[in-house]
A = this chain, B = another copy of it.
């Protein structure tokens, strides 16, 4: 057991509130910025290194989506913060990867924090911290790493599929959240597959796989952690639905309500899987007990049949001078017969007890 002394408990970096500090794992990642600007007629897409390239588009009745991959380049984020007049706490939360999902309404923008989930190459669940700032005609998204679930959405904007090109920034926000919730469905389905694999594993494998409790415990924690990442989004979307800010168009409200339906469905699925994982441990215990019962029965049958027989053989192996049976002509054969009868009686007894 490692010793955590009082010292350690007091060593925590107590930064002043509102200080930007990226403490995530992707420290060395180069920040990449891509900007999409579109209206009903126009569409521009820029991959750039300087976030100021995105400021030219303003004031054209168009929607600007600035996406930043990589959170260790604080300068660009600060530039955006100054340009769009963001609160210091918003900037702090953008780079604080341990911030839980939340929704905040400021005077001139919405701020939404959420998580993207995926399984990495080793089938281990990974979290990516995402945040989004939504203003009247712009959406800013901040991702911890490159690679996301929005390619489909970008493509839809580019080819003007669906109604997205004719809608405002609020619809883009909705579309981004919708893609994230779709991502959750995929992740949860993968967890569901894992649970079913493990469940059939428990039943089918005859060998006592001693890593199974470990796997169940891992799965439990995975489900708990997914739940913790997803559950707050319900409140986020609920507050978004109830917001009467003018950023959100009346027409978009039915879409957000639909989104709320989906996030509830995600939460119900995760709760269902949670109950199923919990049940797995019980089931595993029962199966172990069943197997032990089997083992005990085999032992008991063998011992109960042969221990008395061995005792009888032992009797006639004694060296008393006066043991009349030993001299009997057919004593040996009579005894063998008697032993066989006893053996049969025992078998009948166990069959009656339904142990055979």
Which residue among A16, A199, A281, A315 has the maximum number of chain B CB atoms within 10 Å of its CB?
A315
On whether the beta carbons of B316 and A319 are closer than 8 Å, the reply is: yes
Q: A6-B118, A296-B300, A322-B331 are in contact. List 15 more A-B contacts (CB 8 A).
A: A8-B190, A9-B183, A9-B186, A10-B183, A12-B182, A16-B164, A17-B178, A89-B258, A216-B283, A224-B275, A281-B283, A293-B295, A307-B310, A318-B319, A318-B335
Given contacts A14-B179, A213-B287, A300-B299, contact A326 B316 (CB under 8 A): no
Min CB–CB distance A119 → chain B (angstroms): 5
Q: Which residues of B contact A162 (CB under 8 A)?
A: 16-19
Q: Which residues of B contact A187 (CB under 8 A)?
A: 9
User: Which interface class (under 10, 10 to 19, 20 to 34, 35 or more) fits A?
Assistant: 35 or more
Pick the residue among B16, B161, B261, B320 that contacts A100 (CB under 8 A): B261
Min CB–CB distance A184 → chain B (angstroms): 10
Min CB–CB distance A157 → chain B (angstroms): 10
Pick the residue among B257, B276, B295, B311 that contacts A310 (CB under 8 A): B311
Q: CB of A206 within 8 A of chain B? A: yes
On whether the beta carbons of A355 and B12 are closer than 8 Å, the reply is: no
Restricting to A242-267, which residues have a CB under 8 Å from any CB of B?
Answer: 254-255, 257-258, 261, 264-265
5 A-B residue pairs with Cβ-Cβ distance under 8 Å, sorted by A, are A3-B123, A9-B118, A217-B279, A299-B299, A323-B332
On whether the beta carbons of A224 and B276 are closer than 8 Å, the reply is: yes
Chain A residues in the interface with B (C-beta under 8 A): 1-6, 8-14, 16-19, 87, 89, 93, 98-100, 102, 104, 117-121, 123, 126, 147, 149, 152-153, 156, 161-164, 174-175, 178-179, 182-183, 185-187, 190, 193-194, 197, 199, 203, 206-208, 210, 213-214, 216-217, 220-221, 224-225, 228, 254-255, 257-258, 261, 264-265, 268, 272, 275-276, 279, 281-300, 302-304, 306-311, 313-323, 325-332, 335-336, 353-355
Q: Which residues of B contact A268 (CB under 8 A)?
A: 100, 228
On whether the beta carbons of B286 and A285 are closer than 8 Å, the reply is: yes
Given contacts A311-B306, A314-B314, contact A14 B320 (CB under 8 A): no
> A309–B315 Cα gap in the complex (Å)?
9
* 8 tightest A-B CB contacts, nearest first: A16-B162, A313-B314, A14-B152, A316-B318, A206-B354, A320-B332, A299-B300, A317-B317
Q: Which residues of B contact A299 (CB under 8 A)?
A: 296, 299-300, 303-304
Q: Which residues of B contact A123 (CB under 8 A)?
A: 1, 3-5
On whether the beta carbons of B276 and A99 are closer than 8 Å, the reply is: no
On whether the beta carbons of A317 and B321 are closer than 8 Å, the reply is: no
On whether the beta carbons of A290 and B290 are closer than 8 Å, the reply is: no
Q: Which residue of B lies closest to A355 (CB)?
A: B295
Q: Which residue of B lies closest to A261 (CB)?
A: B102
Given contacts A123-B3, A272-B228, contact A295 B300 (CB under 8 A): yes
Given contacts A199-B217, A302-B308, contact A292 B291 (CB under 8 A): no
Min CB–CB distance A343 → chain B (angstroms): 10
> A309–B312 Cα gap in the complex (Å)?
10
Min CB–CB distance A131 → chain B (angstroms): 13
> A224–B221 Cα gap in the complex (Å)?
19
Min CB–CB distance A273 → chain B (angstroms): 10
Min CB–CB distance A115 → chain B (angstroms): 13
